[in-house]
Amino acid sequence: MRVGNWIHLCVDMQRMFAENTPWHVPWMAEVSPQIIELSSRFPERTIFTRFIPPASADAMPGMWKTYYEKWKVMTSEYLPPELVDIVPSLRKLVPPARVFDKRTYSPWIDGRLKAALSGDNVGSVVISGGETDVCVLAAALGAVDFGYRVILLKDAVCSSADQTHDASLELLGDRFSVQVQIMETEKWLSEAGQSEYRSRRR
């Protein structure tokens, strides 16, 4: 497989999902070693997204207001600001890794991420993080719509709901099989490492 120019989009590996909050994702601890390994080996290719809650429900439009009326304790009015940041094991990689903040599940909505990747001439997006059935799914489908080749690392994505995690992997690997490749992190690291070695020898 030809690796080409790629970036690692690490979705929402934040303290508010790793620690004891109403949005805690227990499986995050299980996928962290794979994410740390990939991010540490290629920090200059890594972008960490952060899902940023509003100050209050009233600050958001439409059904987002209803959403945060349900999750009032997760607005910045109540949530300690340090919990919004990415976990310390990944934060130390910034820079050269980059951080991209978003208000919605998808990181593609306002066009800033696409513009940044266009400048880097990126052809493939490697996705890790959480949650598989929410923000990871939105990130993957947005990348598909923009024409990127998507590599989803199945042992480096997680959810708080096992059934919809499994269903999302099946959906992406089956219905989007031409545009999305489901892969183990170790296999991707091997292929990316070989590509980097060949590039340096040219």
CATH number of the domain within which 103 lies: 3.40.50.850
Mean pLDDT of the chain: 94
Domain annotation covers residue 196: yes
Q: Which range of residues forms the domain containing residue 156?
A: 6-201
Would you state the structure tokens that stand for residue 141, as one six-digit string?
């489908």
Q: What is the pLDDT of residues 121-137, one digit of tens each?
A: 899 999 999 999 999 99
Residue 51: strand, helix, or coil: strand
Q: Is the residue at 1 inside a domain? A: no
Q: pTM for the complete prediction?
A: 0.94
Render 92-117 in DSSP notation, one character per residue.
TTTTTSEEEEESSS-S-TTSHHHHHH
Q: For the segment 36-93, what is each residue's pLDDT rounded down to a tens digit?
A: 999 999 999 999 999 999 999 999 999 999 999 999 999 999 999 999 999 999 999 9
Q: Structurally, how many domains does the chain consist of? A: 1
In a domain, 108, yes or no: yes
Residue 10 lies in a domain: yes
For residue 177, is it within any domain?
yes
Integer Cα distance of 25 and 201 in angstroms: 42
Give the angle 175-176-180 at the CA atoms, nearest 5°.
145
